[in-house]
Chain A
Amino acid sequence: MTPECERVMDCLDGPLPPDLAAHAAGCEDCRALLEGFHALAPPVGGRAPSPMGSHLREAAPRQEALLLHEAAPRHDAPLLHEAAPSHEGPPLQEGAPRSDAPPINEAKLEETRRKSLTELAAAPLPTPWWRDVLVLLVTYLVVGAVGLAVVGRHGMLLNSAPSYVVAGVALLIVAGVGGGALLGLAPGRRRWPLGVVALGAGGVALAQLAGRSGVEARPFLTGTLGCLGTEVVLSVVPLALALVLLCRSAYQPVRALAAGLSSAGVGMLVLHVHCPDGAADHLMLGHLLPWMALAGVAVFIRSRLPSRTFAP
């Protein structure tokens, strides 16, 4: 699409300026656009201006018969539309489809209004979104602290890698946990691509593997199953809370994945600083695999939970 084509799109609801009309006449893309646009609901009886130049208009097929709104049953006068202020969108034309919306069930609409007002009266002041993030982060902190105190009763910091490496990786996990919570619960104007979340998770995983001590302190199976179980147990409360909070907005798999990685990251952080085993296979199967599996479980469960609201 050229810049001129974009300008044509911006002018779809009115007559095209001469320079754009000339462009549209010679541009196959713009012709397709204009004809498709008017195929849905063309101007009625010449009341609304045609955005096509006269040279294009001649070539345009007869469209009157394709009026979607002509076929739709008319509802009573659109009082609500009249009350609406001017919007920033394209101005509505006479005969434009919006004024001929499908029939409205007034009783159901009144019920909707009544229910909404009841809900508003029950909770006049809104809960700011950041409070949910704060609650989740505080929960992470408590679960992490209690978890470390319990599993580390015979020694908290048993990771034998250099302390600056342990601290660096731990900070990365903390950043991932915080960022995931924010990404999962904060209202965003743009949708985050799955690739960004996957890249972040991959970075955290690689950092753990790169910062491993290489020590094998326990038998492989015992150590791996022990860490796996600990991580799952430590993730139950954060994951459950994250799921409850996720239901307060519309379901988006990327959000659920971010929140899942974040909540399962608490257990992984505890294991990172506490676990004396630093072999790559132990880290992959005992620390990273359950982390990713729990995030997958979070997405799966969230997709099946009903949303309390559909706000973005």
Chain B
Amino acid sequence: MPALPEAAGGSDEVLMERFCQGDAPAFDALFQRYARPIQGYLSRLTGSPATAEDLTQLTFLSLVRARGRFQEGARVRPWLYAIATNAARDHARRHRRPEDLTPEGELPLTAVADTPEPRDAGLERAVHRALEQLPEGQRVPILMHRFEGLGFAEIAEALGLTESAVKVRAHRGYARLRELLAPLHQETAE
């Protein structure tokens, strides 16, 4: 990618305002600022880097096409993560197959990863499995909070929920993760 444009110094909202007026460098600055984090988020959310690449493209195309829906006074980052989350949900909804369903007949939370096995693959898988076992309502706030550095207010904005509701979900998710990872903790402690 090219070097950061001059516009890169502005705040997200200033850049968004200029981008909404058709300013390509402002879009470029937003893209350079958020393309990698969004792709990382989507990669964690879907479990597939290849899917994440496609969804990142859809996210930024949506940003361009739907910028008329961006409301004055709103924050850009939660809006962008909302678009990315919607794209991932849509992808999951359209690509589910009967054989993908869990024994309980429910939709699995993520696809199988298509990356090569990293080092410490066992631990990596354990943590991924633990995250995958969380319901989407708890997993998405945790991914946004723990891995993307979003505050609870921003997550609430992105998910269209109240901040209290997001905190309750995240709290339950973290508590559940502790339970799910407890056996691994014991193993590593030994």
Is there a chain B Cβ closer than 8 Å to A68's Cβ? Answer: yes
Q: Which of B4, B64, B69, B185 contacts A119 (CB 8 A)?
A: B64
Contact across chains for A65 and B53 when beta carbons are under 8 A apart: no
- 4 further A-B pairs in the complex, CB-CB below 8 A; given A33-B175, A61-B186, A97-B147: A62-B185, A62-B188, A120-B64, A310-B62
B contact face: mostly helix, strand, loop, or mixed: helix
Cβ contacts under 8 Å, A110 to chain B: 1
Chain B residue nearest in CB terms to A131:
B68
Is there a chain B Cβ closer than 8 Å to A199's Cβ? Answer: no
B32-56 near A? 1/0 per residue, CB < 8 Å: 1111110110011000010011001
Is there a chain B Cβ closer than 8 Å to A307's Cβ? Answer: yes
Identify which of residues 152-179 in chain B touch chain A, using a CB-to-CB cut-off of 8 Å.
Answer: 152-154, 157, 160-162, 164, 167-168, 170-171, 173-179
A79-90 near B? 1/0 per residue, CB < 8 Å: 111011101111
Contact across chains for A32 and B87 when beta carbons are under 8 A apart: no
Query: Once the chains are docked, how many angstroms separate the CA of A93 from the CA of B178?
Result: 21
Is there a chain A Cβ closer than 8 Å to B90's Cβ? Answer: yes
- Distance (Å) between the CB of A212 and the closest chain B CB? 38
Identify which of residues 35-92 in chain B touch chain A, using a CB-to-CB cut-off of 8 Å.
Answer: 35-37, 39-40, 43-44, 49, 52-53, 56-71, 74-75, 77, 79, 82-84, 86-87, 89-90
**Which A residues are closer than 8 A to B by beta carbons?**
1, 5-6, 9-10, 12, 29, 32-37, 39-41, 61-68, 70-73, 78-81, 83-85, 87-92, 96-98, 101-106, 108-113, 115-117, 119-121, 123-129, 131, 187-191, 248-251, 303, 307-312
- Distance (Å) between the CB of B158 and the closest chain A CB? 8
Query: Once the chains are docked, how many angstroms separate the CA of A251 from the CA of B57?
Result: 18
Q: Which of A91, A101, A303, A311 contacts B66 (CB 8 A)?
A: A311
Contact across chains for A87 and B149 when beta carbons are under 8 A apart: yes
Contact across chains for B120 and A71 when beta carbons are under 8 A apart: yes
Contact across chains for A112 and B69 when beta carbons are under 8 A apart: no
- Distance (Å) between the CB of A237 and the closest chain B CB? 24
Contact across chains for A98 and B147 when beta carbons are under 8 A apart: yes
- Distance (Å) between the CB of B91 and the closest chain A CB? 10
Do A309 and B37 form a contact, CB below 8 Å, given A66-B185, A121-B24, A187-B71? no
Do A105 and B49 form a contact, CB below 8 Å, given A78-B36, A85-B12? yes
Query: Once the chains are docked, how many angstroms separate the CA of A310 from the CA of B173?
Result: 26
Cβ contacts under 8 Å, A84 to chain B: 33-34
Contact across chains for B40 and A102 when beta carbons are under 8 A apart: yes
- Distance (Å) between the CB of A65 and the closest chain B CB? 4
Cβ contacts under 8 Å, B149 to chain A: 87, 89-92, 96, 98
Contact across chains for A309 and B66 when beta carbons are under 8 A apart: yes
Q: Which of B83, B127, B174 contacts A250 (CB 8 A)?
A: B83
Among A33, A63, A89, A131, find the residue whose CB has the most chain B CB atoms closer than 10 A: A89
Query: Once the chains are docked, how many angstroms separate the CA of A12 from the CA of B171?
Result: 11
Cβ contacts under 8 Å, B119 to chain A: 71
Chain A residue nearest in CB terms to B157:
A189
Chain B residue nearest in CB terms to A37:
B174
Cβ contacts under 8 Å, B90 to chain A: 250-251, 307, 310
Cβ contacts under 8 Å, A310 to chain B: 58-59, 62, 66, 83-84, 86-87, 90
Chain B residue nearest in CB terms to A127:
B68
Q: Which of A12, A40, A83, A87 contacts B177 (CB 8 A)?
A: A40
Chain A residue nearest in CB terms to B63:
A116
Chain A residue nearest in CB terms to B186:
A61
Cβ contacts under 8 Å, A187 to chain B: 69-71
- Distance (Å) between the CB of A307 and the closest chain B CB? 6
Query: Once the chains are docked, how many angstroms separate the CA of A84 from the CA of B4?
Result: 11
Is there a chain A Cβ closer than 8 Å to B28's Cβ? Answer: yes
Cβ contacts under 8 Å, B148 to chain A: 89, 98
Some 27 contacts from A to B, beta carbons below 8 A apart, are: A34-B174, A39-B130, A68-B127, A80-B32, A80-B37, A84-B34, A89-B151, A92-B149, A98-B40, A108-B53, A110-B1, A112-B35, A113-B28, A116-B27, A116-B64, A117-B28, A129-B69, A191-B160, A248-B66, A251-B90, A309-B83, A310-B62, A310-B84, A310-B86, A311-B62, A311-B65, A312-B160
